[in-house]
Amino acid sequence: MQLNREEGLQLLFNTVADKLNMTVPKNIDFKWLADEANKLAQEITDARLSRETVVNPRILCVVSEDYVKKDYELDIKAIQSSFSETRLTTIIGTNSVALRRLLRGNKFDIIHFVLEIDEFTGALNLNHTTNDGLRIEDGMTAEGFASEVVG
């Protein structure tokens, strides 16, 4: 059944209608639907072809102190297995100052976070504990992160 052809769409509608003990409305323009499906398929194909491909990407993986205790290594392994030749930089337990410095001095194609991100604001949670055991509330706003990456 080809859903980008008039006959395929008619078959789909008839099959669904039969299962629901209904009839297909007579005023459905299957040719128009098929044309629209073909246009959409072409747009998807064009979008795929126009994507930029990055060979040997530079990847930054930022792991917060809170996630060091969890299975962040699985993320690292997934990145390494997905990109056979990659330049991976991993920073663990960083703070906003160090992250800003790293972002300003380097260009990364992919940045992967293993940390808490505020679901409403997009802020990065970079809370950490000092050597003295003092808990420091730290973070970076979504806007601040974007300005470091783009700016």
Per-residue pLDDT of the chain (151 residues; tens, 9 = 90+): 687 889 989 999 999 999 999 999 999 999 999 999 899 989 888 887 777 777 788 999 998 887 777 778 888 888 888 886 778 888 888 889 999 999 998 999 999 998 889 899 999 998 877 778 888 888 999 999 999 988 6
Q: What is the DSSP string of 11-56?
A: HHHHHHHHHTT----TT--HHHHHHHHHHHHHHHHHHHHHS---SS
Full domain range(s) for residue 46: 6-50
Assess whether 68 and 115 both reside in one domain.
yes
User: How many Å apart are CA 139 and CA 64, to the nearest integer?
Assistant: 10
Cβ atoms 59, 109 nearer than 8 A = yes
Per-residue pLDDT, 36: 92
Per-residue pLDDT, 102: 93
Per-residue pLDDT, 151: 64
Assess whether 13 and 62 both reside in one domain.
no
Task: Using CA atoms of 28, 34, 36, 38 in order, give the dihedral in degrees to the nearest 10.
Answer: 170
Assess whether 102 and 122 both reside in one domain.
yes
Neighbouring-strand partners of residue 136:
128
For residue 1, tell me if it sits in a domain: no
Task: Using CA atoms of 58, 89, 126, 123 in order, give the dihedral in degrees to the nearest 10.
Answer: 10
Assess whether 97 and 26 both reside in one domain.
no
User: How many domains does the structure of the chain reveal?
Assistant: 2
Per-residue pLDDT, 87: 85
Assess whether 62 and 46 both reside in one domain.
no
Per-residue pLDDT, 11: 92
Pairing of strands 128-129, 135-136: antiparallel
Helices (H) and strands (E) in the chain, counts: 6, 7
* Count of beta carbons in the 10 Å neighbourhood of residue 103: 20
Assess whether 31 and 73 both reside in one domain.
no
Assess whether 63 and 120 both reside in one domain.
yes
Assess whether 46 and 72 both reside in one domain.
no
Nearest to 111 by CA among 81, 138, 91, 140: 91
Assess whether 46 and 64 both reside in one domain.
no
For residue 111, tell me if it sits in a domain: yes
Assess whether 92 and 143 both reside in one domain.
yes
